[in-house]
Chain A
Amino acid sequence: MNAHGFVHRYGDNVDTDVIIPARYLNTASHSELAAHCMEDIDKEFVNKVKSGDIIVAGKNFGCGSSREHAPIAIKASGISCVIAPTFARIFYRNSINIGLAILECPEAAAAIRDGDEVAVDFDTGVITDVTTGQTFQAQPFPPFIQNIIEKGGLLNSLNA
């Protein structure tokens, strides 16, 4: 399992209110949520994001509200992986549960720049900044987590 794409970079403490503002929580439609993803922190995100792209951010990504709509919006907008030094715990759990790959890697999060081309190998946990040639080592997902992400989420994985 791999991810490969261009990086959208954000700072520390990105909260779930800016990932998907509550004014759009009157729907659970994945495509409607994706249409407003990151709207209150980066209005241009939805116009520039391409399928496979990667978000790299600072510490405590996904803090605040438990809304699962946040990882759903990120995943439905085409993002293949989020890399940060730390994640808020509810966001971390929700991301795995809905099948969004996320990796904790302080070194990668510090070094990778906005717009870099990045490849991630989930089997080994190796993150490669293709633009700069640097590589970073994150903790690889154990097989059962990889299975959840490949099946598109916890309940899908139970169903299959």
Chain B
Amino acid sequence: MGMTMTQKILAAHAGLDFVEPGQLIEAKLDLVLGNDITSPVAINEFEKIGADSVFDKSRIALVLDHFTPNKDIKAAEQCRQVRQFASKYDIDNFFDVGRVGIEHALLPEQGIVVPGDCVIGADSHTCTYGALGAFSTGVGSTDMAAGMIAGKTWFKVPSAIRVTLTGKLPPYVSGKDVILHLIGEIGVDGALYQSLEFAGEGVRSLSMDDRLCIANMAIEAGAKNGIFPVDEVTLAYGENRFRREAVVYEADADAVYEREVVINLDTLRPTVAFPHLPENTRTIDEVGEVKIDQAVIGSCTNGRMEDLRMAASILKGRRVADGVRCIIIPGTQQIYLDAIREGLAETFILAGAIFSMPTCGPCLGGHMGVLGKGERAVSTTNRNFVGRMGHIESEIYLASPAVAAASAVTGCLTDPAKLN
């Protein structure tokens, strides 16, 4: 019996030749991550047991991205606690305002995660790094604390679902539509406790930004992780970027999958998840007339350069509809700078959108675009749960940057291909 990519990476980090689904292992960690919301809880645990050192100061990342720039005094105090901890233990990868980006856009961009890594992060979207061919999964703050101390943690080896991609994405269809379509097919617990292993010739046509977006939302199907094979696209992305040597793992030909889901990219349509679960998907052709009050383009799911370029290509020479607030947020400072240099920032502002510094802000109803009672947003973020972006009677429609930008222009959910 062969192993999947995930199983191979876990075996290697546990010092074993072979692992099988259900097996409990202890694995070495290449990176332990936390943000300004989860790290304070981890630091309290760390200090409670009297720990006085971290396992490796170069393998911990502390990213102040959620409620920053500090949205209120309590958020400022939480950031202060993390800042003091980072200083005390001389953490190499500490990112504060001015250097900070949204963690899952930032760490790949900076080459801090590389193919073959085993990563835990106290943030559910840590599964993003599967796009690079790493095993990467979200945990809570206690696991983060234990990981920072010991540099290892226990895992139950997951069984796998193979997601076979065929064909090539048509215009205005992106990685976001792939993952929304998949969640619509299998449900928000369709991959519970399992790994989603993306494969097939369709992978080759997906850019790294598309893959990062797809892996990012694996958790929205309940998955432990999502993972992509390493190919020339991955290695080209990593050139002059990866800070450590990439280790490439390939699934065995006789690897065992519990099931297979096939997605033909050729026929995929722009897809929207209706309130209040990411599995409530409809194609753009089925949405009917849904009026919106706000469009958010950004987040760890869709705040990357290709996302901003797509939004700008739609907003160029057009205006955001009256009565709609369009909020565009780059994932990192580098993306922010590139967007300014390419003229995207000017396009956004001339269209009547706002273009802010990187932050998770509105995605989780933190700041920078909280929704009021009865308001509707089309958003490129990852969750449309009740109250996620604000009032419990507000509504979130998850979509791609192309759909969000087109909808900002018309004021209702819109197929970007039909914009005149």
Interface, chain A (partner B; CB < 8 A)? 13, 15, 17-18, 21-23, 25-28, 40-41, 59-60, 63-69, 71-72, 86, 88-90, 93-94, 97-98, 153-156, 158-159
Contact = CB atoms under 8 A, between A and B. Distances in A.
Contact count band on B: 35 or more
Contact of B192 (A28, A65, A68, A89): A89
20 contacts: A15-B383, A17-B383, A17-B385, A17-B388, A22-B388, A26-B74, A27-B74, A60-B189, A60-B192, A60-B222, A64-B219, A66-B126, A68-B122, A86-B192, A90-B140, A98-B140, A153-B45, A155-B49, A158-B49, A159-B48
A50 B349 CA distance: 53
A23 B66 CA distance: 11
Contact of A67 (B38, B365, B392): B38
Given A26-B67, A158-B49, 10 more contacts: A17-B385, A17-B388, A28-B78, A64-B124, A64-B385, A66-B124, A68-B141, A88-B192, A90-B138, A94-B140
Contacts of B50: 159
Nearest to B45: A155
Contacts, number: 123
Contacts of A64: 124, 219, 383, 385
Interface string B164-189: 00000000000000000000000011
A22 B277 contact: no
Interface in B132-183: 138-143, 145-146
A155 B145 contact: yes
A98 B387 CA distance: 25
Contacts of B141: 68, 94
Contact of A155 (B146, B219, B222, B386): B146
B75 A26 contact: yes
Contacts of A88: 189, 192, 222
Given A64-B124, A66-B124, A89-B192, A40 B387 contact: yes
Interface of B: 37-38, 40-41, 44-45, 48-50, 66-67, 71-72, 74-75, 78, 122-124, 126, 138-143, 145-146, 188-189, 192-193, 219, 222, 224, 277, 364-366, 383, 385-388, 392
Given A28-B41, A155-B48, A159-B48, A17 B387 contact: yes
A71 B139 CA distance: 13
A36 to B, nearest CB: 11
Given A23-B365, A27-B74, A60-B192, A153 B386 contact: no
